[in-house]
Amino acid sequence: MRKYLLSTSALAGAALLSSVAVADVSISGYMEWEMINGDTDSSSFDGTSMAINNEVNIDFTNKTDSGLTITFNTDLDTDSGGVDDNSMSISGGFGKIVVGETDGAEDAYAFHGGSLQAEEHNMPHSATDATKAVDVDNDIMKASGAQLTGNGNKISYHLPAMGGLTAGASFQDSGASTSTDLTEFGANYSMEASGAAITLGYTSATKEGATKDSDSTTLGVKVVMGAMTVIANQATKDTATDDETGNSFGISYTLPSGMTLSASTMTAEDDGATDLGEEYSVNHYEMVYPVASGLSMVFNVSDYDYKTGTGNAEKTADSGTFSSVMLKASF
């Protein structure tokens, strides 16, 4: 009798396990250690400093009997203890639905010259965001890329690819007692021409406001010709206080040895009533040297210039150069 009960329990356990979805788990991450040297008009930002950036990305993926692919993603910023992304996607023949705290369609379909750098975050404005040592307006420094999207709780829908066309839309509800809902649209169209892969991108986003809605757009082109990639774009942002226009251009080339060289330039200006005449320009130069599989050295130089314009008494004009050496390991 005891043997029968044990056998029955084992069969019941096996049946229970077979009815529970067993997900494929993928874990990846990277660790970056960096030495930065600043030579700027701001004495508080001159000299050398060290920085560290770590991230762990975890994906759980399950494929249902009906053909759906369900993925849960969490992106952990381990050096700060925060969570960058936390979302679930459901994809199939109908396209893909994404819900949770992650960037929306504006980010998914926009591209700009600075994105060709392996370490896009290693730029003057990122250091500024982290330390506030140089009083440069964060908005105008992002004026060449997606600006209104962010890791807020939203729902997105991406159409299935139709030839060379991909497109999607996102909606973020600001809450029951507020009226700052965010709507995003984006589309890419890819084609081949004379041996080059060409992608056109367009995005549009609108965030409701009490006195005036905030609108942003991006329009760009990406060309890949063998080992060389070129990106050019223009972006605009119009809010109750800002009227920004940004332009960027970037180029990268991968040598047969695996070394990658890249450069980009961006200019932005604000003609809004609050920040009239505010201007920002920056040039980035980067070399990525592969030391071994999963290990690389990144050398980066950035020259920038910032003008406050009128109506910016709380800000300080600044210019200078940041250079850095980074050791990066990917897992």
Predicted local confidence at residue 140, as pLDDT: 61
Q: What is the pLDDT of residues 187-223, one digit of tens each?
A: 999 999 988 999 999 999 999 988 899 999 999 999 9
Q: Confirm whether 208 is domain-assigned.
A: yes
Query: Which parts of the chain register pLDDT below 70?
Result: 1-21, 44, 120-146, 311-315
The whole domain housing 44 covers 23-330
- Joined together, the tokens standing for residue 273 give 């009533």
Check residue 164 and report its DSSP letter.
T
Predicted local confidence at residue 23, as pLDDT: 80
**Which among 182, 109, 116 is positioned nearest to 149, based on CA atoms?**
182
CA atoms lying within 13 Å on the CB side of residue 208? 12
**Number of Cβ within a 10 Å radius of residue 306:** 28
**Number of Cβ within a 10 Å radius of residue 146:** 24
- Joined together, the tokens standing for residue 121 give 């975050």
Domain count, the chain: 1
Q: Confirm whether 8 is domain-assigned.
A: no
Predicted local confidence at residue 254, as pLDDT: 97
**Number of Cβ within a 10 Å radius of residue 165:** 14
Q: Report the distance separating Cα 324 and Cα 258, nearest Å.
A: 20
Q: Confirm whether 76 is domain-assigned.
A: yes
Give me the phi and psi of 68, to 5 degrees please: -85, 145
Q: Confirm whether 137 is domain-assigned.
A: yes
**Which among 104, 45, 93 is positioned nearest to 67, based on CA atoms?**
93
Q: Report the distance separating Cα 104 and Cα 148, nearest Å.
A: 9
Task: Find all residues with CB under 8 Å of 294, minimum gap 6, and list them.
Answer: 329, 330, 331
Q: What is the pLDDT of residues 31-64, one digit of tens each?
A: 999 998 988 887 767 788 888 889 999 999 999 9
Q: Confirm whether 162 is domain-assigned.
A: yes
Predicted local confidence at residue 185, as pLDDT: 96
Q: Confirm whether 131 is domain-assigned.
A: yes
Predicted local confidence at residue 6, as pLDDT: 37
User: Exposed, middle or buried: residue 318 (CB in 10 Å: 0-12, 13-18, 19+)?
Assistant: buried
- First CA to last CA distance, the chain: 52
Question: What's the CATH code of the domain at 147?
Answer: 2.40.160.10
Q: Report the distance separating Cα 284 and Cα 278, nearest Å.
A: 20
